[in-house]
A and B are shown apart, each in its own frame.
Chain A
Amino acid sequence: MKEIINLPVSKIEEEEYHINMGPQHPSTHGVLRLVVSLQGEMVKSLKPHCGYIHRGIEKMCEKDTYPQLIHLTDRIDYLSAHINNHAVCLLVEKALEIEVPERVKYIRTIMDELARIQSHQLWWSSFGMDLGGLTCFFYGLRDREMILDIWEETTGSRFLQSYNCPGGVMQDLHPNFQKRVHAFIKTFKKKIKDYDRILSGNVIFEQRSQGVGMLSKEDAISYGVTGPSGRGSGWSCDIRKNEPYSMYGQVQFNEVLRYGCDTYSRYMVRMQEMHESMNIIEQLIDNIPAGDYSAKMKAVIKLPAGEYYQKVESARGELGLYVVSDGNKTPYRMKFRTPSFSNLSVLDHISRGMKIADLVAIGASLDLVIPDIDR
């Protein structure tokens, strides 16, 4: 010890030390454990430890029938619950070659876009809160309550509705639906300008996010980072444009791309996506055709033997469902290719050389939902 005290400062070697952003942490958005290896305040590498919310959903799906496992898919990525249910229903309908009524396609697309907007609102709230701006939390969640009211009136539940079922939806729209959606869009278009004034144009926010967490396009493709995080690096990966499903082939909307490759680009992609979602809803809401809200299905759904794959665009990226069926009423093997799992794998690569405070901003810009990683 005496030898160390007598050395001049420049000769004392900086040692690497590990800190644990443990499973219980306000900024990890759930139970993710990161063991960060630091030199001073610079991140040298990090290792994520997952599994703290691994519930074994893939094994449980092998014992549930197709309508039953829709309730489990809700809980995988609870912020895009509609979109997850939609994927299962599309897969079953494709395998059985069932054509759903037009009304169902309109309803499902509108509900999907509402889910996307409320997921981005929650993301914006927690992003601002992580960087220290607690006002964002209250503004975002206040506006999100309007969407939850719309859902509660039609489906009966604020959150985790399990509204889709193979062949259609569980019950018809409430008569007030159109009025409420119009009111929401009118209000939200004014409120979203506040979001830009608080955070997007803020000089502290810009300095904390521009140039932070650079992810090149080749890396995004190689690591499989899809969704708004990939589109912030210029990779055009929107499933709604590349392989359209439901009504997405027939509405006009732009795919939002940015080429900055940093946290600020990923942020701006999501802000612009909220505008695009409102455009899609406006094109569809006044033209919902009358008709059945569900096609006639048999009581027991058995998929023919074979393998099926269905892709949808959830709020986080590309969600893929891979089903191996042997002709029974339960799947033989069901695999969820979740977007947050691949997005997490790039966190190590893009945080090297950044400070520990930037790590929080990078993690928030990738928009990870931890049960989506662990299933």
Chain B
Amino acid sequence: MGIKNIKEKDFQDNETLELFRKTGSGILMTTIDAVIDWGRSNSVWPLTFATSCCGIEMMATGASRHDFARFGIEVYRASPRQADVIVVAGTIVNKMAPVLKRLYDQMSEPRYVIAMGACAVSGGPFYYNSYHVVRGVDQVIPVDVYIPGCPPRPEALLYGVMQLQRKIKLETITRPEESMIMGRK
């Protein structure tokens, strides 16, 4: 297991995820798990969702220099029913929070959430003295990967996507309650 060309020791702080993978299932189920997880992690298709400045960096990541289509993020889906991941890029305010919750509820499982940028992680530069900003998108929907930065560089977004891929590769279909993906519980 492991993502090709990235060594295990490069993810030193994620040893707990590695320990977790000692499932004890038979050889058949682990092979099926490996195939399903490989398929799911290499083709996460996001929803078109960008509220403010981080949206521009997300577009720049999709452009030709830091192309993220080579990571499996091939197309953006306009409809939440067809999307796998929602990359919350930008500030969420009180008026937008119910809309975000409705979009998340409409996505079909398995669904993942990446919080991109300081505003989505914790409210960002608008943490103090704003009467209308939600301090962190995890107050509204459960988040799998947090990417700090204001705005995060395209390379940081790609690292966050790779972390999500690692998380997905640890899932097993026999015991879904042990999944690390936040949306499953």
Contacts and interface: CB of A to CB of B under 8 A. Distances in A.
A160 B53 contact: yes
A53 B93 contact: yes
Contacts of B136: none
B131 A138 contact: no
Contacts, number: 98
Interface string A62-78: 01100000011001001
A339 B76 CA distance: 30
Q: Is the interface of B mostly helix, strand, loop or mixed?
A: loop
Nearest to B126: A55
Interface residues of A, number: 36
Interface of A: 22-26, 30-31, 51-57, 59-60, 63-64, 71-72, 75, 78-79, 122, 137-138, 141-142, 144-145, 148, 158-160, 370-371
Given A30-B50, A56-B132, A63-B129, A141 B93 contact: no
Contacts of A55: 91, 93, 126, 130, 132-133
A141 B60 contact: yes
Nearest to B78: A26
Contact of A53 (B47, B78, B91, B131): B91
Kindly name the residue among A26, A53, A122 whose own CB sees the greatest number of chain B CB atoms within 10 A: A53
B130 to A, nearest CB: 5
Given A30-B52, A54-B93, A60 B59 contact: no
Contacts of B51: 30-31, 52-53, 370
Contact of A56 (B47, B48, B99, B130): B130
Given A142-B65, A159-B151, A53 B52 contact: yes
B37 interface: no
A122 B90 CA distance: 18
A75 B125 contact: yes
Nearest to A146: B65
B55 interface: yes
Interface string B128-156: 11111100000000000000001101000
Interface residues of B, number: 35
Given A31-B51, A51-B95, A52-B93, A145 B63 contact: yes
Contacts of B53: 75, 78, 159-160, 371
Kindly name the residue among A31, A63, A137, A370 whose own CB sees the greatest number of chain B CB atoms within 10 A: A31
A156 to B, nearest CB: 12
A297 B104 CA distance: 50
B83 to A, nearest CB: 11
Contacts of B130: 55-57, 59-60
Given A51-B95, A141-B64, A142-B63, 4 more contacts: A25-B78, A26-B78, A63-B129, A137-B59
A60 B56 contact: no
Contacts of B153: 158
14 contacts: A24-B103, A26-B48, A26-B76, A26-B78, A51-B95, A52-B51, A53-B91, A57-B130, A60-B129, A79-B56, A141-B59, A148-B60, A159-B53, A159-B57
B38 interface: no
Nearest to B61: A141
Interface in B57-111: 57, 59-60, 63-65, 76, 78, 90-91, 93, 95-96, 99, 103
Contacts of B150: 160
Contacts of B91: 53, 55
Given A53-B91, A371-B52, A145 B133 contact: no
A52 B99 contact: yes
A49 B59 CA distance: 25
Interface in B140-185: 150-151, 153
Contacts of B93: 51-55
Which 6 A-B residue pairings sit nearest by Cβ, starting from the closest? Answer: A141-B63, A78-B53, A56-B130, A52-B96, A26-B48, A60-B129
B90 A53 contact: yes
A28 to B, nearest CB: 10
Contacts of B128: 60, 63
A142 B91 CA distance: 26
Contacts of A22: 99
A160 B151 contact: yes
Contacts of B49: 24
A79 B47 CA distance: 23
B63 to A, nearest CB: 4
A314 to B, nearest CB: 15
A99 B35 CA distance: 67
Contact of B129 (A59, A138, A159): A59
